Structure 1
Amino acid sequence: MKKNKPKYKQIIDAAVEVIAENGYHSSQVSKIAKKAGVADGTIYLYFKNKEDILVSLFQNKMGQFIEKIEQETTSRQNAEEKLLTLIETHFEQLSLDHHLAIVTQLELRQSNKELRLKINDVLKRYLAVIDQIVAEGVEENLFRKQLDARLVRQMIFGTLDETVTNWVMKDQRYNLTSQAKEVHSMIVHGLST
């Protein structure tokens, strides 16, 4: 399978850097190839076009991102701990890869509708983790019983997403992960009984 080949990973990693540094629209396939250390034509053995690179990059990197969040949260005892772990892991992973943070927070926002639908498809797994934590929180009486789960999911994801976007826009001048406990506290108090 193409995704297991070393060049695939090289191209994905190079694409993250090139797109973060130049913006999606100014990132030619030739720049990505050069950064990856492969011939331009090699890219087309793995990807149909530049948009396919962006979608694959998101699927690949967010797949790893979500997997880490799933692993970290399942090892926690209750909904409150799981929510804090989700927030910390979200912030940590993006603060460790500022190129990926720029791509996810800025470049993917400028994409067309078809691309956004593919991105939303990848995010479903992540949103399911949030839904599960909220349901557990309701069961444990941490959160109110009469919550609109869809709205709560949007609020939690939107809060994390905007916190990271603000950090990216401020050129990552402060410690993103240090905000996790305060964000957690605001969410828990906002949803509590």
Structure 2
Amino acid sequence: MVKKDKPKYKQIIDAAVIVIAENGYHQAQVSKIAKQAGVADGTIYLYFKNKEDILISVFQEKMGVFVSELEKIIAKDASAADQLGMMINSHFSLLASDLHLAIVTQLELRQSNHDIRMKINNVLRGYLKLMDRILISGIESGEFDQNMDIRLARQMVFGTMDETITTWVMNDHKYDLVELAPKVQRLLLKGMQA
């Protein structure tokens, strides 16, 4: 396998997002991805074992951006409530700025097989652990209910964001997703504050 820091690797990842979004994962042939990336079919196999490997790599690469943004938010000297709001805004903004990625993450990944979903869940775990840090910080500072169940709160926060984005994707992006971020934050805070 060729190193992942090569420009063609990124080209293929970006092309895969477009092809999977436009054709669906099951119809997204490696040849279509290669054509979109402007590389020969065989070049794909220098970087990826198969189409499943491409999908998992897409999620790893793109989720890395979400993790990086969330790490920056946590590093800020801000209240847990403000960090929560920044996280929601960042999450919504990243997907609103890349409609193909929104379709892939909200629709296509859910149609993949069990093994792919398990590998994706492992990648997602890092993001959720960072979210836990915001929730724990809020409990420790007294902003959030001292008896709040972290696991349940995480499910509530991520589930609300996830469902809001999925509904936006299913409605063909007819409204501004980012405008909903402060509303989602307010609703979630009502459930978490003491």
TM-score, normalised to structure 1's length? 0.97
Aligned residues: 193
Cα distance in 1 for partners of 2:188, 2:130 equals 16
What whole-Å deviation, never above 9, does each CA across 1:149-173 have from its counterpart, x for those lacking one? 1111111100001100000000011
In the aligned structure 2, how far is the partner of 1:113 from the partner of 1:183? Answer: 30
1:157 aligns with 2:158: yes
* C-alpha separation in 2, matches of 1:150 and 1:75: 24
Q: Which blocks of at least 5 consecutive residues in structure 2 are unaligned?
A: none
Instruction: State the partner residue of 1:40.
Output: 41
Shift in Å at residue 118 of structure 1? 0.8
1-structure distance, mates of 2:142, 2:50: 49
Contact 1:94–1:100 (CA under 8 A) maintained in structure 2: yes
Say whether the 8 Å CA contact 1:73–1:85 is kept in structure 2: no
> Secondary structure of 2:172's match?
coil
Correspondence 1:145 to 2:143: no
Q: Tell me by how many angstroms 1:54 deviates.
A: 0.2
Per-residue deviation at 1:76?
4.0
Shift of 1:75: 1.5
Q: Is the Cα–Cα contact under 8 Å of residues 80 and 142 in structure 1 kept in the other structure?
A: yes
Corresponding residue of 1:112 = 113
Residues 24-57 of structure 1: CA deviation (Å, up to 9, x unaligned): 0011000000000000001001000000000001
- SS at 1:106's partner residue? helix
Tell me whether 1:2 sits opposite 2:3 in the alignment: yes
Q: CA RMSD in A?
A: 0.9
Unmatched 5+ stretches in structure 1:
none
- The CA distance in 1 between the partners of 2:74 and 2:168, in whole Å, is 24
Partner in structure 2 of residue 190 of structure 1: 191
Structure 1 distance, partners of 2:77, 2:43, is 43
Report if aligned partners of 2:66, 2:127 keep a CA contact under 8 Å in 1. no
Contact 1:73/1:83 (CA < 8 Å) preserved in 2?
no
The structural deviation recorded for 1:73 is 3.3
For the 8 Å contact 1:74–1:82, the answer to whether it is kept is no
1:47–1:53 Cα contact (<8 Å) kept? yes
* Alignment of 1:180 onto 2:181: yes
Aligned-residue offset at 1:92: 0.3
Contact kept, 8 Å, 1:84 with 1:181, in 2: the verdict is: yes
Counterpart position of 1:68: 69
8 Å contact kept, 1:142–1:192:
yes
Letter in 2 for 1:75: K
* 1:136 CA displacement: 0.9
Cross-structure match for 1:84: 85
Aligned to 1:171: 172
TM-score (norm. length: structure 2):
0.97
